[in-house]
Structure 1
Amino acid sequence: MPHDRKNKISCNNYECEIEVTLEVLSGKWKSLILWHLCQHKVIRFNEFRRLIPKITQKMLTQQLRNLEENELVNRTVYDETPPVVEYSLTNLGKQLVPILEKMDEWGKKYVNSHIPH
């Protein structure tokens, strides 16, 4: 998210706060990354590659950095060789868990009722 938009008080670019939420979660991969962190609590970079095989290394790095900038994800680097990097949800990121759970529930219902089996 552009830095001038991080502070909702000084931002007149949004019609409503739902737009802010959608912007923070926008993109093909962010919701999926957050969803996996909800399920696993802590994930190493290469574990993400196994959990989300279609994401490229570059895209995963970009999405994780963006989620970190938006204070939704913690990045912990351990001083080892090779370096070990782990990701987890911040307290702010954990607040998204009920929203993601509802999105998952809604998506399952939608698929069951609208997509031919």
Structure 2
Amino acid sequence: MDSTNQKVSASRKAKRKTYTPLSAAIDVEACFSMLEGRWKLVILFYLFGGQIQRFSDLEKRVTGISQKMLAQQLRQLEADGIVERTVHQQVPPKVDYRMTPWGQELCPALDAMLKWAERREIHTLKR
């Protein structure tokens, strides 16, 4: 009985959502809204590839961002399940951030968008 339940669960997970043009546009827009904001993508690129960054390190690397804005952007990314925050119980407290496995899956999608943008430049030059 256990193996049957596992097979049924696995087949349910494998089932893909069927999109209409409208539902696809709505879902992609929801994805973009999670990444919306002046600093979120910059923060994500510093965290891709399994990088673990302390708050202070991100603050130094993301030039021009205030502490308040960095904290706000990280909280939003954490709430959306893209970034994981770890608080180490020590004095002074140490807080670091890393991508969740689901968040790390954004990397190939953003790489594809970069390549797409490069192709636009090539098409523009051909005109």
TM bucket, shorter chain = 0.7 to 0.9
Q: Which has the larger radius of gyration?
A: 2
Query: 1:55, 1:111 → 2: CA distance?
Result: 29
| Number of equivalenced pairs | 103
User: What's the CA shift for 1:113?
Assistant: 8.4
C-alpha RMSD of the superposition: 2.6
Aligned residue for 1:85, secondary structure, equals strand
Structure with more of its chain in helix, by fraction? 2
The runs of 5 or more residues in structure 1 that have no matched partner are: 1-12
Where do 1:1-117 residues align within 5 Å?
15-39=25-49, 41-107=51-117
Identity across matched positions, percent: 35
Instruction: Indicate the larger mover: 64-73 or 16-25.
Output: 16-25
Greater relative contact order structure (CA < 8 Å, 6+ sep) = 1
User: What's the CA shift for 1:16?
Assistant: 2.3
Runs of 4+ in 1 over 3 A off after TM superposition: 103-114
TM-score of the superposed pair, with normalisation by structure 2: 0.69
TM-score of the superposed pair, with normalisation by structure 1: 0.75
1:63 partner letter: Q
The runs of 5 or more residues in structure 2 that have no matched partner are: 1-22
